Structure 1
Amino acid sequence: MIKAVIFDIGETLIKYNKPLNWSVLYRPAFENMVKECRLTFTEADYKNAIQALTMYNTRTYPREYEVKSDDIFIDILSKITCTIPDINKAKHVFYSFFRNEVSEYPEAEDVLRELKEKAKKVCTLSDVAYGMDNKYVLEDIKGLLKYIDFPFTSIDIGFRKPNPTGIFVLAEQMLIRLDEILFVGDEEKDIKCAKNARVKSVLINRSSARKCYGQDYEIKSLKEIMMLV
């Protein structure tokens, strides 16, 4: 019997309306940060900042351990000549650039509400982009938080998918066996994470493309989860 459902966040519960690989947005994101924080970047500063950030792009350089935003920005600062007096403001402006078109999938709230009504535990386990602090992710799902028992990200766990540690931690927190858990995500790493943790995997595939990641179930809409629990 399924007692808990763990969801990925981006492109599963909410849509960012940005490419999965943000590399094409590095320059405009830094330009926006420079403008809003009244900084002065040389061309060399832009080049070096982009080069430093690229090393944390998990689409290009996959890793299973997580890196926090402060560590990433300290690294960027060490590569540029410009002084940034308020790193927290700079981070806020930078990360907000990628979050300006966030929207919930229409069925997300109804499905999470119904899961709670059926006394199912609801959790998230999502990898953050470039060490993005949890406060941004939680803001993105603020309309859904009242239904989520444990809103976890890779920042909480210290590891990224497909490392299964996050699922193990959530199972322990919920006092629920692994065979009582569904994991729902939209990417291959989500399915691999579920497989590595030995929980049932659900691929949400809203496209017409065929995706064979070894998933136990495949759905087109979050509403179909209710048939699995």
Structure 2
Amino acid sequence: MTKKAIIFDFDGTIMDTNDLILNSWQHTFKHFEGKERSIEEIYETFGETLTYSMQNLLPNVETGLAIEKYREYQVVHSDEQIKIFDDIVKLLDELKNRDLLLSIVTSRLRNTTMKYLKSFDLLDYFDVIVTCDDTNIHKPKPEPALIALKKLNVRKDETIMVGDTRFDIGCANSAGIDSVLVNWGVAYRQENLPSEFIPKYVINKPMELLEVI
């Protein structure tokens, strides 16, 4: 069936925020622990809400203080450490030319999501934006994607969901939406993962999405 709507993740899929996220975490670790942690440990948090990750990685630090320190770095360095992935604008232009409905479903806060979309002139491409402020249940649970479906007024079989982490794939699969893993973000380890985290499609470049819709 030809798809009518596409749900995109934001960080690591539309925007290359990987360096900013890594450096924000290391800034936070150095402040509270006096040293950095492994990049692999930080990568494991990609796709989670920040509150959940902070509680998990810094359980002995008051979560609000840890998040404040994390965002302190982002406020100063976001403009220099964020960029759009190559060919994303080209892809979005083509999808809108085909009259597809586009949505973002992200575990990021609404205020920073909107800030970056506006800063990079991407906001007008998207018909619906669902952030962690819109639900108390987050990826990999299906609720964020189901909210997007309702707002887009489309069925799950008319939709495809695109992301770079197991949380995106799990969200799509649990919602009954065809899932697409992108390989231009953080490396996604599929080995030994339960079936609910295995994507239906894998693409290596943005324009390859056109082949699966």
Fold shared, TM-score > 0.5 on shorter chain = yes
Distance 1:182 1:134, change over 3 A: same
More helix by share: 2
- Alignment coverage as a number of residue pairs: 187
Secondary structure, counterpart of 2:81 in structure 1: coil
Q: Offset at 1:135?
A: 2.0
Q: Pick the structure with greater CA Rg.
A: 1
Contact 1:124/1:152 (8 A) holds in 2: yes
CA distance in structure 1 between the partners assigned to 2:206 and 2:184 by the alignment: 10
Q: Offset at 1:76?
A: 3.8
CA distance in structure 1 between the partners assigned to 2:186 and 2:125 by the alignment: 30
CA distance in structure 1 between the partners assigned to 2:164 and 2:6 by the alignment: 14
Matches within 5 A, 1:4-153: 4-18=5-19, 22-26=24-28, 46=32, 59=44, 76=64, 93-97=72-76, 99=78, 100-128=80-108, 133-142=109-118, 143-153=121-131
CA distance in structure 1 between the partners assigned to 2:70 and 2:44 by the alignment: 21
CA distance in structure 1 between the partners assigned to 2:167 and 2:122 by the alignment: 23
Identity %, equivalent residues: 23
Where does the alignment leave 5 or more consecutive residues of structure 1 unmatched? 31-45, 48-56, 68-73, 80-87
Q: Corresponding residue for 1:227?
A: 211
Q: Corresponding residue for 1:168?
A: 146
TM-score normalised by structure 2 residue count: 0.72
Where does the alignment leave 5 or more consecutive residues of structure 2 unmatched? 34-41, 53-61, 191-196
CA distance in structure 1 between the partners assigned to 2:156 and 2:87 by the alignment: 26
Secondary structure, counterpart of 1:12 in structure 2: coil
Contact 1:168/1:197 (8 A) holds in 2: yes
Q: Offset at 1:24?
A: 1.8
